[in-house]
Structure 1
Amino acid sequence: MESKVYFIGAGPGDPELITLKGHKAIGGADVIIYAGSLVNPQVLANCGKEAVIYNSAEMDLPEIIEVMKNACAQGLSVARVHTGDPSIYGSIREQIEELDKLQIGYEVIPGVSSFTAAASVLCKEFTVPEISQTVICTRFEGRTPVPELEQIELLASHKTSMAIFLSVHMMEKLVEKLTKHYSGSTPIAVVEKATWTDQRVVRGMLNDIVLKVKEAGIRKTAMILVGDFLGTEYNNSKLYDAGFTHEYRQGKTPCGE
């Protein structure tokens, strides 16, 4: 492998949900830095016997960059393994900017995000015709602030499909904000450790989900999905409608018309 840093999306948890390219990059890397608090260790099962492995949960940014710099100075390749997809709450930009300063090459390999994994666990699609055609990925404001125009209650005013990261420990406050616009009967699901062998799913409505999550004892590593896309009402898409004409198929009409 080329001597550079590979930012790899390890997927949501199931080690088979990493991309083939990411799997190959981990297998060929000389140095691996992985987010140990979130990434399933089984994702690293194919790493080389001589690979040096670091857990970034125990490191700060300067320490991470120092490992990358030293490895690349020796002509080694580095796999920087993030959970899900590194473009969503991956904090890769700050690492990339430091690598640019050091003139160290890098590549980003995408992965399956936990929000799409959670939808797969529920067997739901975010974009249901005439119900919701927009997905908002966000997080509730906690120790890390969010921009003023991205406050949860403002985003909720659109009543779209929502995927809320890093917020299950503030469930009561979150629901209070959401119900300023969503009705109390709006369906919601909390998926803990989606696609892991010990995943758990709590389903409910906004008016009862807080108690259900509390009773389940879920406090972290969970995705919150909310919106009418989780409900039972929906409309078929035009894509497979027999009467809908498009470039690849002529619409069918009843006999005699």
Structure 2
Amino acid sequence: MVHFVGAGPGAPDLITVRGQALLKEADIIIYAGSLVNKELLEAAPSHCRIYNSALMTLEEVVDVMIQGEKEEKKIVRLHTGDPCLYGAIREQMDRLEEEGISYEVCPGVSSFCGAAASLQAEYTLPGISQTVIITRMEGRTPVPEREKLRSLAAHQSTMVLFLSTGLLVQVREELLAGGLAPDTPCAICYKATWEDEKIVWGVLDELPELAERAGIRKTALIVVGKVLESEYELSRLYAADFTTEFRQGRKDEGQK
């Protein structure tokens, strides 16, 4: 059995209880060494064999899994955040299925959630944005034409950009071309929830300069949107006159 486990956004105590239990029982751990907090590996038993996938190809990762399965070992594939976002797990799962090896996924707290916590922000504010677009700037790996940043920016929704810190000049150009105003609030979240976390606030027009002044060149999320401002509408869910399945709304005095 291979367990794909989400390591969480960085802080070692933000892995799920299930994920930590799987680490404690693992015979083999293959972890994404470029992003996963190595403190998490301290939970592994002394006999556990540990591999850093940052130094490996897909074929080498799969070979370790296949050999571990032959040895009847418990294997943990430890991915940063939640494996479903930019985790490249589908290609691993397909190889495992070809080999007849069973697997399961243990979800994790994504870094975009960790960033929101560090920013003390709500991505979906009434009257401002009810949609979160999670995407990245096109670089060496292309994105579908319909998902170019300028097209997505036209929605005026909250945007969270992964894997784009080294392309901030292009990010700014694309978002401005998509209709976002130069003074649209933004934040750069470097290693959110880690001990050396760094948060930089500003506006879209100065995005590359913000990162440059802070010395941030990688391992950061970019959050863009008016939800980072202070003005918004109150939620109707908790309004006194709003009736729900659990609470009867009250009419204001003078209403019939």
TM-score when scaled to structure 2? 0.98
Q: What corresponds to 1:24 in structure 2?
A: 21
Q: Aligned with 1:107: secondary structure?
A: strand
Match of 1:147 in 2: 144
**What secondary structure, in the 3-state scheme, does the structure 1 residue paired with 2:237 have?**
coil
Picking from 111, 127, 135, the partner of 2:108 is: 111
- SS for the counterpart of 1:45 is helix
Instruction: For residue 243 of structure 1, report the CA deviation from its aligned partner.
Output: 1.0
Give CA deviations for 1:26-54 in whole Å, capped at 9, x if unaligned: 11010000001100001121111110100
5+ unaligned residues in a row in structure 2: which ranges? Answer: none
Given residue 216 of structure 2, which amino acid in structure 1 is its aligned partner? I
Aligned position for 1:57: 54
Identity %: 49
Cα separation, 2, equivalents of 1:74 and 1:207? 55
**Which amino acid letter does the alignment assign opposite residue 226 of structure 1?**
V
Q: Residue 95 of structure 2: SS of its match in structure 1?
A: helix
- Confirm or deny that 1:199 pairs with 2:194: no
Confirm or deny that 1:5 pairs with 2:2.
Answer: yes
For residues 73-92 of structure 1, the aligned pairs below 5 Å read 73-92=70-89
The amino acid across from 1:182 in the alignment is L
Which residue number corresponds to residue 188 of structure 1?
186
* TM-score normalised by length of structure 1: 0.97
| CA–CA distance in structure 1, aligned partners of residues 47 and 56 of structure 2 | 21
- Find the residue that maps to 2:105 and give its secondary structure: strand
The Cα of 1:255 is off from its aligned counterpart by 3.5
Name 2:98's counterpart in structure 1: 101
For each residue in 1:167-196, what CA deviation from the matched residue of structure 2 results, as whole angstroms up to 9, or x when unmatched? 011111110111121101100000000000
Structure 2: which amino acid aligns with 1:76?
K
**Aligned counterparts of 1:256 and 1:157: Cα–Cα separation in 2:** 43
Partners of 1:175 and 1:45 in 2: CA distance: 40
Q: Which amino acid aligns with 2:211?
A: V
Partner Cα separation in structure 2 for residue 40 and residue 86 of structure 1: 15
Q: 1:256, CA displacement in angstroms? A: 4.9
Establish whether residue 165 from structure 1 lines up as the match of residue 173 from structure 2. Answer: no
Cα displacement string for residues 51-81 of structure 1 (whole angstroms, at most 9, x for unaligned residues): 0100111110111111100111111110000
How many matched pairs? 254
Deviation at 1:253, TM superposition (A): 1.6
In 2: Cα distance, 1:129 partner to 1:42 partner: 39
TM-superposition CA deviations, 1:105-140 (whole Å, max 9, x none): 100010011111101100011110111000100000
What is the rounded CA distance, in whole Å, between the counterparts of 2:155 and 2:149 in structure 1?
11
| Structure 2 partner of 1:44 | 41
- In terms of fraction of residues, the more helix-rich structure is 2
Q: Report the secondary structure of 2:248's partner residue.
A: coil
Q: What are structure 1's unaligned runs of at least 5 residues?
A: none
